[in-house]
Structure 1
């Protein structure tokens, strides 16, 4: 683990270069060369699911962040030299191991022309802490003080190593106090931020349109309009890219990657991912309240087959929900495929003839196919699985409310620090919307997560995570399946687009030739 800190710093710097903090100091995107030498005034990108909410303190799923991350800014971000750098805060200092002072820029305007002040910062962080969706990202904060119009002091409950890193997250974005207090619901569908792009229109299930903020404190973006288009079918996203309907397509199907890479008119961009994919067992429901059943399901799933057949080898079997490139990763022994062991465990649990269960998944074709493979594998040990396919927002809502027996989920360790994932997925205070959709409530699990949160000692944190994974492996509230790669297809006329491991791709420097 001697290289852990270096790898952590490297990945963090790459993954957290968020959309909101471009500046004139950034290198401009090279001019794309079209037949007439001109640039399009609109760049269109396609993704597989719609935003769940444009409110950054609610819409924490990647499809939402891809949009509202262009509209809002956090206090700080990171640069390409692996340092946390200014964003809305022009500077900061650590007053003690539990207190940070942030000096707010004096030239920041919200999209309605009103000035951003320290009051907005305090309001926003307080609001994020109170949110049942994103509180896990900022609830290390004890309180936020307004020292003067452009200065805030953030006090933490205990020393918390990832403090600055967590504050770079899009869900720690700063919103307008005046606007949000006047109409709390408006931010969900008509967001007004400080970011490089302004909201124009959202047609649910179809698209979101944004317009360049010409008064952005970091300078105007390179392209006037950016449109996010919802295309659930991966194959249809590839076709849309081939025909020129879209300029950029996210999350291509594995069997389409060669089609894109071999097309002279297109480019395939791939990168290391901070995401893991897994089943969450609803431990409120029988028989998944029995750990022997959960273990049996894990032994019955052949994840390597999923990687080989559905991902075409573009992935790696996972033993944990923490990706190997994140700080805190433990090389956990995997549940190797063993059908006979699975049957034995079911018999011990009192289900020798199996049972019926529902597996929830959102309407993404590749994810559906993965669940169908799991359905087939579990049938071999007597578990009859109904795959329930739901639109993404409905899928999230229903699993938040524990309507599933099993759910197929992905999670991105966006801060490249394990606390970002362990806390919401496993801590007993985070049931439902924050991420704990297995509804595990284990005092020892809570203890190790909390111990790792309140120390800046990296070695001590890793020891706690090692103990934590020992319990998780036994209790099996989730079945880790695989880690994938980030892939994006673009027209070869697109310039300035960079793949981010967290999937929060920025459009500040992106252009496309006519």
Structure 2
């Protein structure tokens, strides 16, 4: 393994020294800032990019797949499952004949050990199981059980919709580790955690060969992988912290993918005919929120006037340089329940009429709070100018993020520009945040105490019929559009610069943030 690593590494160095574009055809070389990498342990890994590398090393109970533009859970190690009549217990049938990378058979005993491990370790990634499913160290043995060598059951505290349950179980903490190998390396009850920090013991499509921090990460194809062998035999991640250096090496051909380009650097790199831009929908949104109990904003007509004052297209085009999607609902594009409608556009006369109907014909003065990033400051200035056209004077207040969110969580704001990132690809994650004050998240922070919206959220959480469930979220979105405390500005996008010889990268990256499938990439 080490000889193979050195061979590939020397090849890359030779390419860099000679200056011709010829990374190995069976190797994908990624340039990225790897400072965010902390561990390769699937029970502990939490950050987005590291999780995608870890996901290449481990098969999971279930995984996510983009099917016809919608991200859905599909079988992985669990080839099928049954749900009890009360909707509380999921019985997973483990795929037979699967081997770990070292050739050991994978059985339900490994699955049981792997599912319990993040809970026993009290890993931050296990919050899904603890906070949502009600599984903790005290009840884990009764909630997660091995039925036989190829069957495992999980019992929840409520009959959540199937897409919610499976979406949560597709997170990286369900990566299946080789129990025997991990326990061979256990130290002081860490369940092999120290060893798994920079080793792998999985059944995924790749194996971790070497990780030299602040230098290089190398994966090689797992010869025992149960699925089709990936087209790329190696994935190399080179530590290149500076985005400008990533662009330079991409254009020279020393790397195949630049992971961290800014929009401006990507635009510059695209002038090179050998460079291709890849963009996919992201899993977060940017919004203007209004405190629904403060002064004029307590009136729904005033909030509607604010929504009609904003020029959303100019924010997407001029501030985000089109690196965003105009999505005005709270459910992201690419999710079950996504509503394509964008009902709001800048109509100053309509905004003024709504303000007059609400009793504010001369407008009003309001504090507009946001954080100190360049993007947020630009958004605040743009919205300030737009609101002024309707007669609303917005006074911008810039704070450090920590101070801003402390004030926001205490409902101490009037208006705020902020964002939200998703934890699992189901409308429940977004509806509870944006529409249910009972969840004590964004709707609560904005003091929108709407029982109709909160009840729809709860119905959607447990409705077993997908068609009825989809209708619930459509009804909720339509109601939220015109009654809620938000003006949704955009959905983020993820983007990369790649060499034109890299194939199927967009397909592999669709859903990035939730998934990235390296087995789809080729050269």
Same fold (TM over 0.5): yes
Does 1:88 find its partner at 2:77?
A: yes
TM-score under structure 1 length normalisation = 0.68
Helix, strand or coil at the partner of 1:162: helix
1:74-473 alignment runs, 5 A limit: 74-77=60-63, 85-94=74-83, 96=85, 98=87, 99-105=89-95, 107-109=98-100, 117-123=110-116, 135=128, 139=132, 143-156=143-156, 157-158=158-159, 160-162=161-163, 165-166=166-167, 169-171=170-172, 173-174=174-175, 182-183=189-190, 194=202, 195=204, 196-198=206-208, 201=211, 209-212=217-220, 214=222, 217-218=225-226, 222-227=232-237, 229=239, 238-239=247-248, 241-244=250-253, 246-250=255-259, 259-271=268-280, 273=281, 275=283, 277-279=285-287, 281=289, 283=291, 290=298, 295=304, 297-313=306-322, 316-330=325-339, 334-339=343-348, 341=351, 344=355, 354-360=365-371, 369-374=378-383, 376-377=385-386, 381-388=392-399, 405=413, 406-409=416-419, 411=421, 415=425, 417-428=426-437, 430-431=439-440, 442-473=450-481
Structure 1 stretches lacking a partner, 5+ long: 1-33
For residue 436 of structure 1, report the CA deviation from its aligned partner: 7.9
**Does the aligned pair in 1 maintain the 2:66–2:511 contact within 8 Å?**
no
The 1:62/1:346 distance shift into structure 2, 3 A limit, reads: farther
Partner secondary structure for residue 117 of structure 1? helix
Normalised by the size of structure 2, how large is the TM-score? 0.67
> Residues 199, 278 of structure 1: CA spacing in aligned structure 2 closer, same or farther, 3 A cutoff?
farther
Higher RCO, Cα 8 Å, sep 6+: 1
Question: Tell me, what secondary structure is at the counterpart of 2:56?
Answer: helix
Judged with a 3 Å threshold, the aligned counterparts in structure 2 of structure 1 residues 370 and 346 are, in CA distance, closer, same or farther, namely farther
> What residue number does 1:44 align with?
30
Q: Is the 8 A contact 1:332 1:469 kept in 2?
A: no
Q: Residues 149 and 427 (structure 1 numbering): CA distance in 2 closer, same or farther, change over 3 Å?
A: farther
Alpha carbons of structure 1 residues 207 and 59: separation in structure 2 relative to 1, 3 Å: farther
- Is residue 276–residue 322 contact of structure 1 (8 Å, CA) maintained in 2? no
Higher Rg of the two aligned structures: 2
Q: CA–CA distance in 1 between the matches of 2:127 and 2:224?
A: 26
Query: Cα RMSD between the aligned structures?
Result: 5.3
Alignment check: 8 A CA contact 2:23 2:253 kept: no
CA contact (8 A) 2:43 2:175 kept: no
State how far apart, in whole Å, the 2-side matches of 1:379 and 1:57 are: 50
Counterparts of 1:480 and 1:326, CA distance in 2: 17
- Report the Cα distance in structure 2 between the residues aligned to 1:155 and 1:190, rounded to whole angstroms: 32
| Contact 1:137–1:172 (Cα < 8 Å) also in 2 | no
Aligned to 2:496: 488
- Whether contact under 8 Å (2:62, 2:77) holds in the other structure is yes
Task: Give ranges in structure 2 of 5+ residues lacking alignment.
Answer: 1-19, 136-142
Offset of 1:64 from its aligned partner?
Answer: 5.1
Contact 1:296 1:345 in 2 (8 A): no
> Deviation at 1:308?
2.8
Instruction: Provide closer, same or farther for how the CA distance between residues 387 and 144 of structure 1 changes in structure 2, counting only shifts above 3 A.
Output: same
Partner of 1:8: none
Shift of 1:359: 0.8
1:353–1:38: structure 2 CA closer, same or farther, 3 Å change rule?
Answer: closer
Q: Provide the aligned length of Structure 1 versus Structure 2.
A: 468
Distance 1:188 1:452 in 2: 38
- Single out whichever of 219-228 and 418-427 deviates more from structure 2: 219-228
Q: Report the CA distance shift for 1:430/1:162 in structure 2 as closer, same or farther (over 3 A).
A: same
- Partners of 2:22 and 2:254 within 8 A in 1: no
Whole-angstrom distance in 1 between the partners of 2:293 and 2:91: 46
Are 1:505 and 2:520 an aligned pair?
no
Q: Where is the helix percentage greater, Structure 1 or Structure 2?
A: 2
Deviation at 1:117, TM superposition (A): 1.3
Whole-Å Cα distance in 1 between the matches of residues 448 and 196 of structure 2?
30
